[in-house]
Amino acid sequence: MKESLEGETGEAMGHVRVRDRLIVALDRPDLKEALEQVDRIGDAVQWYKVGLQLFVASGRDAVTALADRGKRVFLDLKLHDIPATVERAIRALDGLPVAFLTVHASGGPEMLRAAAGAARSMAAGPRLLGVTLLTSLDGTEIPALFNAKTDAREKVLALAGLCADAGVDGVIASPQEIDSLRREHPAPFLVVTPGIRGAGDAAHDQKRTLSLAEALARGADYVVVGRPVLEAPDPRAVVAAYQDSI
């Protein structure tokens, strides 16, 4: 059975605690440096994302080390392969204390169904999320990628529909698509949103962005932030400012 997620959807903005909604992307080259960041931030952050870089560098130890510190883990591997390979890869993760897990929605309905079934079989009961359109894309790439004349919003909605039909628990999408996603996919379907940038933040490689407060107001369940927190002189002050902003 899936454990309940603290701060589930449905709260009014005035009652939202950023600590329950903020996932810090722990994109660091090795586990030692990553854990130094976690210890520096302390109890201001509950959730961390282990992405491809850290998982390739440190493997399962990255997940267990965070869990040992009482943190919740979003394992963001963005799996994308033939259905049998993705299913077996997810089953191989069984035993890890992960709360969220990702696959690419563009892997198609059969892959998504196989992934959803495998995730449901895991003891930790992670929520499976389909990655729609990366926030490093602005939509102009869609004709070349998908041989289709459509915009980012329409493509995200189409991929989200595939996920919902396949039994996937939610999607990863930019904050600019949240309104449309919420109209078509109300709770408990999850919307987890990267591409969070404030007015004074460097965009880096993020193209479809909004502020944390705007993303939550539009209906994001969780927001993912990396460099604006990790590269700040005082990460705890950044988190406090996020709380003040809502």
Give the DSSP letter string of 36-82: HHHHHHGGG--EEEE-HHHHHHHTHHHHHHHHHTT-EEEEEEEE-S-
Q: Quick one: which of 183, 244, 245 has its CA closest to 218?
A: 183
101 belongs to a structural domain: yes
Range 11-34 average pLDDT: 86
**Helix, strand, or coil (residue 233):** coil
1 belongs to a structural domain: no
117 belongs to a structural domain: yes
Query: Pick the residue with more confidence: 156 or 15?
Result: 156
Query: Pick the residue with more confidence: 113 or 246?
Result: 113
Q: What residues make up the domain containing 42? A: 15-245
Q: How many CA atoms lie within 13 A of 212 on its CB side?
A: 27
152 belongs to a structural domain: yes
- Is the distance from CB of 72 to CB of 62 less than 8 angstroms? no
Across the chain, what does the average pLDDT equal?
Answer: 89
Range 179-200 average pLDDT: 90
CATH code for position 137: 3.20.20.70
140 belongs to a structural domain: yes
4 belongs to a structural domain: no
CA R_g for the chain:
17
Range 216-227 average pLDDT: 94
Q: Quick one: which of 240, 227, 238 has its CA closest to 194?
A: 227
Residue 7 has pLDDT above 60, yes or no: no
Residue 27 has pLDDT above 70, yes or no: yes
Q: Which residues are catalytic?
A: 78
- How many domains are there within the chain? 1
5 belongs to a structural domain: no
218 belongs to a structural domain: yes
- Residues 107-155 have pLDDT tens digits of 999 999 999 999 999 999 999 999 998 777 666 766 777 766 677 889 9
**Helix, strand, or coil (residue 149):** coil
> How far is the C-alpha of 137 from the C-alpha of 131, rounded, in Å?
13
Task: Output the pTM of the full model.
Answer: 0.88
